[in-house]
Chains A and B, each alone.
Chain A
Amino acid sequence: MNYEVVIGLEVHVQLKTKTKSFCGCSTEFGSEPNSQVCPVCLGFPGSLPVLNRSFLDYAVKVALALNCKVQEYTKFDRKNYFYPDLPKDYQISQYDLPLSREGFLDIEIDGRHKRIGITRVHMEEDAGKLIHQQGVSLVDYNRTGMPLLEIVSEPEISSPLEAYEYLNNLKSIIKYLDVSDCDMEKGSLRCDANVSIRKIGEKALGTKAELKNMNSFKAVKDALSYEIERQAQVLDSGGKVVQETLLWDEKQMKTFSMRSKEGAKDYRYFPEPDLPPFIISADRIGEIKKNIPELPQEKKMRFMKEYGLSEVYAQILTCDKEDAGYAEECFKAFADKDKKPVANWLIGALSAIASSHNRGISEEKLSPENLIDLIVLVEKKQIISNLVGKSVLEEMVNTGKSAEAIIGEKNLAQISDSSFLENLADEVIKENARSVQDYKSGKANAIMFLVGQLMKKSKGKANPKLAQEILKRRLENV
């Protein structure tokens, strides 16, 4: 049977402020256990939280970048539950008056554009970390009280691929704002997914399952695909989907029921009496707005318009802010109006080298000017072939030398000296009587073999185009 898929994503992003949400403890990653704790974040009696100004500013910045309406009046609430990673037995979060609502994010799949609604972006504090051992759990409260944003999408995502693109674009935007590392492995970005299916045309939503424990965007995609298939099988066989929380097991590529001992969630939210309300003025919003850089979507459109790139190419080159900046410097350094050769080198050869080093193209030791010099030598002056160009590029990246220097040192320049090539052509013709015969009797392909022989004689340095021309000319006289 055919089903329609309904997915909503809940993303938590840890902001890279210097200190925690409500106390002066450092947020540095990887410190000794319980070395970044104080009476406030440990929930000692008598301590009082005070909101970090940067937390609020970063949160407003993200909300605006996600096209949300920032609420003029916002407050914090207590979300009550017992768990050892939560020393106060409540999490300071936001409930009925969140920082912002009603935003959206655009995604693009195979040329099709879609707008996904964002229900809300609110502020809350992170919990601590548990390490489970035999019979005991160790608790580290360094992460407790770190500033988090919760970004909730509308249930408007219709496939695992759309979810994947939503996450990629969200990460890209937040990284442009420079307010979070968005590193899923380090836990600075976490994603839970709600998924349900319904018969096509049906209005009511199906029963949803909540998916947790995905450690990469790919894992989110895989877990959703698995879960959709599982729910379809349940419905096809006449069963009912049960509302539950499922954990993704990446090794087994399966979801498992969490079988929680706790009953239904009842967080008993109430206003946090230790924090006053916050009024965010239109002026303040205006100031923060001014500091929002050109975002990936706008930059993509501009790259398409100014540099004549396809949407796919523009998307790849604007995904990362630093890489986009680097690409733009390269485009500017290239005199021709048509920037496609530059885009090809950036996305092809240079990206391959950079990703083999686990880096972005902007992180390689290669100035835009040097790269453009190489591109001109290959594409325009045809001093070296594309293939030789790629190995020169690798050497440039490794040594920091210029293309000319490497071509000179290794004597790589293509030979375009006609008299030298004519001599080689004559030798080849003399030594390959059969192919010459073939060519003469109309087998056009034979010329390629002869060109290959000439290239070999020149140790790969003959200008292949010229070599072919000269061979053809000499063959006429045979």
Chain B
Amino acid sequence: MSISKETVDYVANLARIQLNEQELERLSRQLQGILDFIDKLREIDISDIAPTSHILEIKNILRDDTPGESLPAEKALANAPSKNGRFFTVPKVIE
């Protein structure tokens, strides 16, 4: 599988990363290397193996519906880059 520069740019955009021309070039090459390596895995016959959705042999881990402690607002907001009273604030997201 080969990856185009456009695809790398698209993925970068989804991840909200801005890349310049050299970075795009370099990352495309590196990603190609990773994909080539993953292509090796395709050589293995997996027709008898069910897809794995979790790596551990565990299931049905549930907790009871009993309220626990929440954080006090000061603590919850302590690391917020910007806040207003009890609110987190962000640049306005709609017009």
Contacts and interface: CB of A to CB of B under 8 A. Distances in A.
Interface string A264-275: 001010010101
Interface stretch (A26-34, A148-156, A436-444, A456-464): A26-34
Given A18-B67, A36-B70, A56 B89 contact: no
Contact of A136 (B76, B77, B90): B90
Contacts of B77: 34
Interface string A130-147: 111111111111000000
A19 B68 contact: yes
A113 B65 CA distance: 39
Given A18-B67, A138-B84, A75 B91 contact: no
A407 interface: no
A135 B90 CA distance: 9
Interface of B: 13-14, 16, 53-56, 58-71, 73, 76-77, 84-94
Contacts of B84: 136, 138
Give the secondary structure class of B's interface: loop
A26 B67 contact: yes
Contact of A32 (B62, B69, B86): B86
Contacts of B88: 34, 84, 138-139, 141
A277 B62 CA distance: 11
A25 B90 contact: no
Interface in A22-70: 23-26, 32-39, 42, 50-56
Contact of B73 (A24, A32, A132, A278): A32
Nearest to B84: A138
A97 interface: yes
B68 A42 contact: no
A52 B62 contact: yes
Interface of A: 17-19, 23-26, 32-39, 42, 50-56, 75, 80, 82-84, 97, 130-141, 263, 266, 268, 271, 273, 275-279
Contact of A38 (B71, B86, B92, B94): B71
Contacts of A34: 73, 76-77, 86-88
B70 to A, nearest CB: 5
A36 B67 CA distance: 10
